[in-house]
Structure 1
């Protein structure tokens, strides 16, 4: 895949691009220089002799050819992506970052430069630069990846770009670990990512009524693949929805060799993955999570399934996706409450194995890429060591035993992450009662939940109702609930049994 830099003339595309290429140890191509080398004329000379239209045709041919190559850093001319075909080609080849700079900064950088034909003084005496920036502002603003350059050294700009833009593909630690690609703009270059993973285009996109108008229709048009849309929400995570999916798979002629793409949050991924696991005794699937919660947790473990009236995820399987494609750009449409819900799972991962992540996790969106990767890595490491939950993977259940009980007792009207956050606090109280944790731990967790905009209680919810819902939980040993309990940030103990009085006291601490 490639990395492309776009932006106004003088925003630093060539200088920064060369630095990025050096750090990535790949080739750098400046599109204007590429054209000049091929023609033996400067851009200014080509504008003068051929006119802008002919130059743009040369530019398009060069970009379409470069986009077919791999492992390049490409710097385009300032007007190159006014052409939609150029933009589509570059976005399909990898992330595109738009560099930004103020008119004053650009003017200072280009002082005395007479090689740029569109930046000479206008006839009326006004600077052409201001006109150019105003005309193209909407285009520049439309790129998801933005990098300001005012007041920054080129090296700093390059380092910031490389911290956010290139795809992160951790090496699977075991044969059961799913391949993961995390990259801004990844859905734009999905065909290339699938090709590199040895996967065909999906035969069908499965999404829900929330995601379909935001991302489903555009991805369907981009790939030329039909869409099956199911009702959104935990209330529809049922066997009845499975029948809808099986019918859609048959109607679209899916075969054993077909691939299904799930585009949505954790609930949608669970359903589409379970349908893929059971249709024709199993077909491959790709998970493209569209929520923070799904990116850091639900998309990664290979657990798929549906709920029953008696409890959550009671019917399911282990069926890891062939590839997880996480594109943080889609989180731009995530409601604030759903962002906070995702933070609860990220906080849980910090509580399990990364005390610094637990302490540093910020409330503001977007979550910095480095912290997103760390939250993901915690789960990847545990799943790699225990893919089928015979031991250590039970740590990932911290907060979930009481949390799932709260979720079920609320009739699944409470966002999953909210229920898990409350569950973390309740299970910390239980750990204190069992003398596994310091008395200060619940207060520490409570403070972090509040800082992240998460609830710390569900007042008025009958504790006995929560306890009854927990009794149908899968996490049992010899008929008794087995808890994963926090001992300190970064340390969790699993397989813990507790008496009913202590469990009820822990539930009442968050339901009173």
Structure 2
């Protein structure tokens, strides 16, 4: 894969690009310098002798050729990606970062530079810079990866690009844990990702009615792959929807060697993964989560399944995806409530094994890449050590035993992350009653939930309804509920049993 830098003249593409290439230990190519080397003329001379249209044709040919190569840092000219073909080619080869700078910064950087043909003094003596920036503003704004460079040293800009734009691929700790690529813009260069993973293009994209118009239809068109859209939401996570998916698999001629791509949140991933697990006794699948909750949690465990009227995920399997491709750019369309719901699962991971993550999670979107990776790593580490939930993996159920009961009692109208956040608080109360946690822990968790925009109680909830729903929990042992309870941020105890009075008191603490 390549890394491409774009932006207005003077934004630092060449200087920063060279630093990125040095840090990445790869080759750097400046498109303008590449053209100058091939023609023996400067860009200014080519503009003067051939005109802009002829230069743009040369530029297009150079970019299309460079995009076919691998492991490059490419710096383009300021007008290069006005050509949609150039942009498509570079985005298909890896992440594209748009560097930004104010007109004042650019003017200072380019003072005295007479090599840029579109930035020469106009007849009235004023630089054409402001006009150029205004003309291209909409294009610059359209890039998902933006990095302002005002007041930053080139070394700092390069480090930020590597931290935010480059794909992160944590090592696989076991054969049962899924391979993961987290990369901004990864869905744009998905064919490269699949090729490097040794996977073919999917035979079918499974998405839902929420995601299809945002991302699914465009991805299918770009890949030349058919798209199957199912109704969105937990209410449709049923065996009836499974029948729709099986019919779609058959209609599109899927075979044992075919690959299915799931594009959606946790519910969609559960359904598409279960269909893949059971169709023709199992086909490979790729999970491309589109919600924060799915990125940090649901896409990583290899669990797939559907609900029954009696409870959640009562029919399912362990069928890890061949690859998880998480593209944080898709989170730009996530409603605020869904962002908060995802933070609940990230907070849970901090509560389990990363006290600093528990304390540092911010409410604002987007979640910083470093924190996103840490939240993901907690689950990856636990799943690698206990892929089939015979022991330690039960820690990941903290907040879920009561949380799932709350979901069911609300008729699955409450977002999953909201229910889990309330469940975390209730189970902290239970831990205090069982003398497993300090009395201050519930208040600490409550404060963090409120800071993240999450509810701490559910109005109109009846404790008896929640308790009845919990009796159908699939995590029971010998007929008894087994809890994973928080003892302190970063520490959870699993396999805990409690009497009914303590359980009811914990539930009642979050009912209003």
TM-score category (smaller protein): over 0.9
Structure 1 residue 46: deviation in Å? 1.0
1: distance between equivalents of 2:107 and 2:462? 66
Query: 1:163-189 deviations in whole A, cap 9, x for unaligned?
Result: 100000011110011000000000000
Structure 1 residue 127: deviation in Å? 2.1
Point out where structure 2 has 5 or more consecutive residues left out of the alignment. none
Point out where structure 1 has 5 or more consecutive residues left out of the alignment. none
2: distance between equivalents of 1:461 and 1:83? 56
Secondary structure of 2:390's counterpart equals coil
2: distance between equivalents of 1:257 and 1:158? 41
Structure 1 residue 461: deviation in Å? 0.8
1: distance between equivalents of 2:247 and 2:59? 47
1: distance between equivalents of 2:289 and 2:196? 20
Aligned to 1:176: 176
Runs of 4+ deviating beyond 6 Å: none
Query: 1:368-395 deviations in whole A, cap 9, x for unaligned?
Result: 0000000000000000000000000000
Structure 1 residue 26: deviation in Å? 1.1
2: distance between equivalents of 1:51 and 1:506? 75
2: distance between equivalents of 1:122 and 1:389? 70
Secondary structure of 1:257's counterpart equals coil
2: distance between equivalents of 1:428 and 1:161? 40
Secondary structure of 2:495's counterpart equals strand
Structure 1 residue 122: deviation in Å? 2.0
Aligned to 2:466: 466
Query: 1:17-44 deviations in whole A, cap 9, x for unaligned?
Result: 0111111111111111111111111111
1: distance between equivalents of 2:105 and 2:303? 52
Query: 1:194-215 deviations in whole A, cap 9, x for unaligned?
Result: 0000000001000000000000
2: distance between equivalents of 1:360 and 1:149? 26
2: distance between equivalents of 1:43 and 1:127? 19
Structure 1 residue 48: deviation in Å? 1.1
Structure 1 residue 476: deviation in Å? 1.1
Query: 1:441-493 deviations in whole A, cap 9, x for unaligned?
Result: 00000000000000000122110000000000011111100000000000000
Pick which of 403-412 and 120-129 moved more.
Answer: 120-129
Cα RMSD (Å):
0.7
Aligned residue pairs: how many? 512
Secondary structure of 1:306's counterpart equals strand
Structure 1 residue 162: deviation in Å? 1.1
Secondary structure of 1:150's counterpart equals coil
Query: 1:309-332 deviations in whole A, cap 9, x for unaligned?
Result: 000000000000000000000000
Aligned to 2:123: 123
2: distance between equivalents of 1:157 and 1:304? 41
2: distance between equivalents of 1:65 and 1:176? 39
2: distance between equivalents of 1:479 and 1:66? 62
Secondary structure of 1:157's counterpart equals helix
Structure 1 residue 124: deviation in Å? 4.3
Pick which of 45-54 and 179-188 moved more.
Answer: 45-54
Secondary structure of 1:480's counterpart equals coil
2: distance between equivalents of 1:60 and 1:501? 72
Aligned to 2:492: 492
Aligned to 1:373: 373
2: distance between equivalents of 1:451 and 1:117? 52
Kindly report which structure 2 residues correspond to 1:259-278, keeping only aligned pairs within 5 A, or say none: 259-278=259-278
Secondary structure of 1:481's counterpart equals coil
2: distance between equivalents of 1:132 and 1:388? 58
2: distance between equivalents of 1:326 and 1:211? 15
Structure 1 residue 125: deviation in Å? 3.9
> What TM-score comes out, normalization by structure 2 length?
0.99
Pick which of 238-247 and 118-127 moved more.
Answer: 118-127
> What TM-score comes out, normalization by structure 1 length?
0.99
2: distance between equivalents of 1:458 and 1:49? 72
